[in-house]
Structure 1
Amino acid sequence: MTIDAIISLFIFVVVYYLIISEKVHRSISVVLGAFILTFFGVFEDPDYLFKNYVDFDTIFLLVGMMLLVSAVKSTGFFEYVAFKLIHFSKNSFLSIFILLNFFVAFFSAFVDNVTTIMIFIPITLAVADAAGIDPTFFVLSEVFSSNIGGTATLIGDPPNILIGNAARLTFNDFILNTSPATLITWGIIILYFVLKNKKYLKKNISFEFSAIEITKSNLIKSTVLLISVIILFTVQEKIGVHSSVIAFGMGFLSILVIDPKNVEKHFGEIEWGTIFFFIGLFIITGALEDTGILKNLAMILSKNFGSTPKLFGMFLIIMSFLVSGFFDNIPFTATMIPVIKMLPSINSTFVNLNPYWWALSLGVCFGGNLTQIGASANIVAITMLLKYSKRSVSFKEYMKFSIIPSLISLIVSIAYVEFRYF
């Protein structure tokens, strides 16, 4: 292991400790960690660092969606939708819970997870506020639904796009292979949430809304803007426009259409701490890739568990799941793709590689639920929960909530791949 690799691993461990212990704000921890890595020359080419490791597509998508949500929120639209949802559910707390999670999972299959979370969390918070209850359980359950739902399609999660491009897999291939596992996993986990919290969900709650103050004009504007952004995200590949461009443009357009006189107020709604956290995390994870740590991890997997196709498939899911819970899943996916492609040259029994692509997809996507920073949607949801409800979720508290449903998703994915493909 090189000096640069040792420094990268050390910084990662220290930063992760600070995040878990919460002794230092997570944004400060990751940004200073990224600064140290850059200062000590772990990256030989700073230009390469920002071009290849800092995902500006995600950064600008976040900024754009924060502006759009801020503008739409100012109209009272989310409270209005929450009121309609409660009315449709006939005040059944259980029905509202299932409906919200279903729509989050469904939209995440076709729209970026972060976008889905940023649209549905304000509605969830409005429901919780009307019921006078702590929204934490609802928000964290929707994080699970978002990450699981995104696994269902080629465009639902960035790792799936990488896998699809590398293996020449189509949208329909994912529908036929990852969607069944997604539906089974989502159903079991929602059932687990319902059974574990049945007393909470079956409470007789009186929803009390103050007068819903939204004009017909603002209702139409908000509805058109949100539908437009969802449609644009769905067809972004066909029109050849990056998600960041769509979000950024729609964010500023929403301010222009809804509230052009209060631009500075909406700029103030941008969560800069979250933005800097992502930038720092991208750099730290990039260092692990740049110094070969992730590649070595992948090679260890193939060397020690590549003796039989069935054994490798099982450990590929487990390794992908665990790594994606603590690292950014995009660089790990990019690292594992050439490893899977070289399997036939290692062992002649690896003829059909398709099962390993599905194993990788399920592992990296489901693994994102394991920790607070396992996926972008997790970080955004927890940030919004703190901002709008003043409810913080510690690293340990999140793990306490996530560990059992995460293990359920891991077991289901292993069983699915093993029984269907081997």
Structure 2
Amino acid sequence: MTVDAIIALIVFVVVYYLIISEKVHRSIAVVLGAFTLTFFGIFEDPDYLFKNYVDFDTIFLLIGMMLLVSTIKDVGFFEFVAFKIIKLSKNSLVRIFLMMNIFVAFLSAFVDNVTTIMIFIPITLAIADAAEISPIPLVFSEVLSSNIGGTATLIGDPPNILIGNAAGLNFNDFILNTAFPSFLSLFLILAFLFFTHKKTFTRKLDFNLESVSISKINLIKSLVLLITVLILFVFQEQLGINNSVIAFGMGFVSVLVMNPKNIEKQFTEIEWGTIFFFIGLFIITGALEDTGILKQIAIFFSEKFGESPKLFGMLLIVMSFIISGFFDNIPFTATMIPIIKMLPGINVAFSNLTPFWWALSLGVCYGGNLTPIGASANIVALTMLLKYSNTKVSFKDFMKFSLVPSLISLAVAILYIEYRYL
């Protein structure tokens, strides 16, 4: 192993430790890690670094979607829709449980999971308080639904964005390949949660929530913007427009339509820490590829499982699921992408990479439900539970609730990948 490879590996391990331990904010950790690599001259050509390792399609897609979501969120569109769902339930907790989770899953397929959770948790806590029940079953079910729903589309979860851009997969590809197992997992998980908490969900309720108002013009604008961007995503291949161009352009269109005189405020809504995290992460994983470390890992996996793509696919799902449950799934996804890309050059048995892209997607996204630190939405939900309802949930308590639902989704993913692709 060369000196450059050793430095790259040390930086990667240190940064990964800082991300897991949260001793330093993850954005600071990866940016300083990237700075260290460039300082020691790991990359001989900085231009080559930015052209080949920093995925600006992903960066611009994230910025555009953050702008779009923030402008619509500010006018109360998501709260309005959530309130309508509650009204439609006619004071039935079973209907509320089903409708809230289905809508959370659907919205998470197109909107950042954290945003979805932040919109629905306050309403959910109000429902639980009025019904005099523990908010944990409702809140936890929505966390699970948000992560499952985010798996269904290209833009639903950051790992999917990484995979889509790396593998050249478009919006429709994800709909046709990950939507079905996501819907099936959601159905089975909700059925399991209903029967295990039947006494809670079948209680009779009698309560009223204050109405959430939104001007008719803002409602129409929000609907038009969302429908337009979704149509463009669906037909982006026929239009010959990159997903990042659509998202970035529509993000600024949304500002122009909804709040053109206060663009500075909308810029503050962008999660710049996440953007810089992605940039630094691309550079760090690029160093692992540039110094040959990832190729060595790929060779190891190929030697152990190279004669059986089926076995490798199953291993990839389980490994992705477990690692993403305990560690941030974004670094792991970014690390595995170049490894998967290298497989055809090592063994012809891996000439078709399609099964492995979907195996990685389902594994890393479903694994986020396993622990309270498996996904950002989990952490946000637990923070809001403590802040607004004084309900503290331990690591162990979360896993007691999430373990079986998570294993259900893992089983669905394994069977789906095996029988459809391998």
Coarse TM-score class (shorter-chain normalised): 0.7 to 0.9
Corresponding residue for 2:359?
A: 362
Check conservation: 1:363, 1:410, Cα contact below 8 A. no
**Structure 1 residue 332 corresponds to structure 2 residue 336:** yes
* CA distance in 2 between partners of 1:180 and 1:39 (Å): 46
Q: How does 1:14-413 map to 2 (within 5 A)?
A: 14-103=14-103, 105=105, 115=111, 117=113, 120-121=116-117, 123-125=119-121, 127-128=123-124, 130-131=126-127, 137=140, 140-150=143-153, 157-158=160-161, 159=163, 175=176, 181-194=181-194, 208-308=208-308, 310-319=310-319, 321=321, 325=329, 327-329=331-333, 332-340=336-344, 343-344=347-348, 357-371=354-368, 378-379=375-376, 400=399, 405-413=405-413
Change (3 A) 1:293 1:227: same
Change (3 A) 1:5 1:225: same
* CA distance in 2 between partners of 1:51 and 1:394 (Å): 44
Change (3 A) 1:223 1:10: same
Cα deviation digits, residues 365-406 of structure 1 (max 9, x gap) = 32234359x9xx944786799799978x99968994766544
Cα deviation digits, residues 52-82 of structure 1 (max 9, x gap) = 2222222222222222222222222222111
Q: Secondary structure at the match of 1:115?
A: coil
Tell me by how many angstroms 1:207 deviates: 6.0
Check conservation: 2:218, 2:258, Cα contact below 8 A. yes
* CA distance in 1 between partners of 2:150 and 2:33 (Å): 27
Tell me by how many angstroms 1:92 deviates: 3.8
Q: Secondary structure at the match of 2:111?
A: helix
Unmatched segments (≥5 aa) in structure 1? 345-349
Q: State the AA in 2 paired with 1:32.
A: L
Tell me by how many angstroms 1:33 deviates: 1.6
Change (3 A) 1:266 1:364: closer
Change (3 A) 1:152 1:278: closer
Check conservation: 2:154, 2:171, Cα contact below 8 A. no
Q: State the AA in 2 paired with 1:86.
A: I
Change (3 A) 1:246 1:180: closer
Tell me by how many angstroms 1:303 deviates: 0.4
Q: Secondary structure at the match of 2:363?
A: helix
Q: State the AA in 1 paired with 2:265.
A: K
Cα deviation digits, residues 5-56 of structure 1 (max 9, x gap) = 2222222222222222222222222221221122112222222222222222
Q: State the AA in 2 paired with 1:64.
A: G
The 10-residue stretch of structure 1 (289-298 or 315-324) with the greater mean CA deviation from structure 2: 315-324
The 10-residue stretch of structure 1 (258-267 or 206-215) with the greater mean CA deviation from structure 2: 206-215
The 10-residue stretch of structure 1 (309-318 or 85-94) with the greater mean CA deviation from structure 2: 309-318
Identity %: 48
Tell me by how many angstroms 1:308 deviates: 4.3
* CA distance in 1 between partners of 2:18 and 2:398 (Å): 16
* CA distance in 2 between partners of 1:93 and 1:193 (Å): 13
Tell me by how many angstroms 1:91 deviates: 3.6
Q: State the AA in 1 paired with 2:337.
A: T
Corresponding residue for 1:347?
A: none
The 10-residue stretch of structure 1 (300-309 or 197-206) with the greater mean CA deviation from structure 2: 197-206
Q: State the AA in 2 paired with 1:29.
A: A
TM-score w.r.t. structure 1 length? 0.76
Corresponding residue for 2:132?
A: none
Check conservation: 2:15, 2:29, Cα contact below 8 A. yes
Alignment RMSD: 4.3
* CA distance in 2 between partners of 1:173 and 1:130 (Å): 35
Tell me by how many angstroms 1:116 deviates: 5.4
Q: Secondary structure at the match of 2:269?
A: coil
Change (3 A) 1:240 1:164: closer
Check conservation: 2:153, 2:174, Cα contact below 8 A. no
Check conservation: 2:121, 2:381, Cα contact below 8 A. no
Cα deviation digits, residues 147-196 of structure 1 (max 9, x gap) = 4323899xx9443575577xxx9968984x66554444333334445456
* CA distance in 1 between partners of 2:50 and 2:297 (Å): 24
Change (3 A) 1:26 1:228: same
* CA distance in 2 between partners of 1:103 and 1:340 (Å): 40
Q: Secondary structure at the match of 1:149?
A: coil
Check conservation: 1:366, 1:409, Cα contact below 8 A. no
* CA distance in 1 between partners of 2:377 and 2:59 (Å): 12
Unmatched segments (≥5 aa) in structure 2? 130-134
Tell me by how many angstroms 1:219 deviates: 1.3
* CA distance in 2 between partners of 1:397 and 1:282 (Å): 33
